[in-house]
């Protein structure tokens, strides 16, 4: 596989780094990974889904924004932060459109990355048939619940019951809309059990099994 560095022109001229991982034989499927505020694409909850997608023939674009390193970002009102994140997500898709050749997209977001998905997926025509993977979604983040509710695309939500964003009513509303939900008892916002390394690794294996089964249900053949 080959890796290609991309630079995306983000909001207010802040450059966003990206890494495009290409298959040895070109694929028409692209997965785009949006990380959390401080949770990077190299960390387990995003690393293993990335490897799973590559194994199944997807090309992968990791979006490596770093809002925690932007001066004054933390001091912005929450709605302004989410607007910024949404603008950056649309800038990512502008770059993707220039790559050409992709017929099917899968979006994967972790925590704050689900705010990017919620801002982007409902209204972007190229994502109308996308698969959406919501990892520890920021249900209590401005705009996320509303954005998710406007997404008719095939979705899976992965969440732990010890996550501060977990609320049973949010999960049931997502299920009622047809989303698959992988709800893991006792796991926190990092999909871990604090103080239990072995248990956390076993939980990650269970998450990957659920995600693999869900991906394999997709109707479009991978090429």
Which pLDDT value is given to residue 188? 97
| Residue 52 CB coordination number (10 Å) | 17
What's 182's DSSP letter?
Answer: E
| Domain 2-216 = CATH 3.40.50.1820 | yes
Note the pLDDT tens digit of each residue in 81-130: 999 999 999 999 999 999 988 999 999 999 999 999 999 999 999 999 99
Q: Which residues pair with 134 in a beta bridge?
A: 109, 157
What's 180's DSSP letter?
Answer: E
Q: How far apart are the first and last CA of the chain?
A: 15
Which pLDDT value is given to residue 222? 46
**66 backbone dihedrals φ, ψ, rounded to 5°:** -145, 70
Domain boundaries, the chain: 2-216
| Residue 202 CB coordination number (10 Å) | 12
| Whole-number percent of the chain with pLDDT over 90 | 94
Segment holding 159, helix H or strand E: strand 154-160
What's 70's DSSP letter?
Answer: S
Note the pLDDT tens digit of each residue in 176-220: 999 999 999 999 999 999 999 999 999 999 999 999 999 999 755
């Amino acid at each position: 596989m080959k890796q290609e560095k991309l630079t995306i022109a983000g909001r207010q001229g802040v450059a966003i780094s990206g890494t495009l991982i290409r298959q040895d034989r070109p694929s028409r499927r692209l997965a785009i990974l949006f990380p959390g505020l401080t949770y990077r694409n190299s960390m387990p909850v995003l690393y293993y889904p990335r490897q799973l997608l590559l194994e199944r023939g997807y090309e992968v674009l990791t979006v490596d924004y770093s809002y925690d390193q932007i001066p004054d970002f933390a001091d912005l009102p929450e709605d302004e932060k989410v607007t910024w994140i949404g603008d950056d997500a649309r800038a990512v898709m502008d770059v993707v459109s220039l790559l050409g050749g992709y017929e099917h997209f899968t979006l994967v977001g972790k925590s704050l990355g689900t705010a990017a998905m919620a801002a982007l997926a409902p209204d972007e025509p190229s994502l109308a048939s996308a698969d959406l993977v919501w990892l520890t979604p920021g249900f209590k983040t401005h705009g996320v619940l509303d954005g998710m509710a406007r997404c008719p695309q095939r979705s899976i939500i992965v969440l732990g019951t010890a996550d501060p964003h977990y609320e049973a009513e949010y999960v049931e509303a997502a299920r009622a809309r047809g989303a698959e939900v992988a709800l893991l008892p006792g796991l926190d916002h990092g999909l871990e059990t604090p103080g239990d390394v072995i248990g956390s690794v076993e939980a990650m294996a269970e998450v990957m099994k659920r995600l693999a089964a869900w991906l394999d249900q997709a109707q479009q053949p991978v090429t």
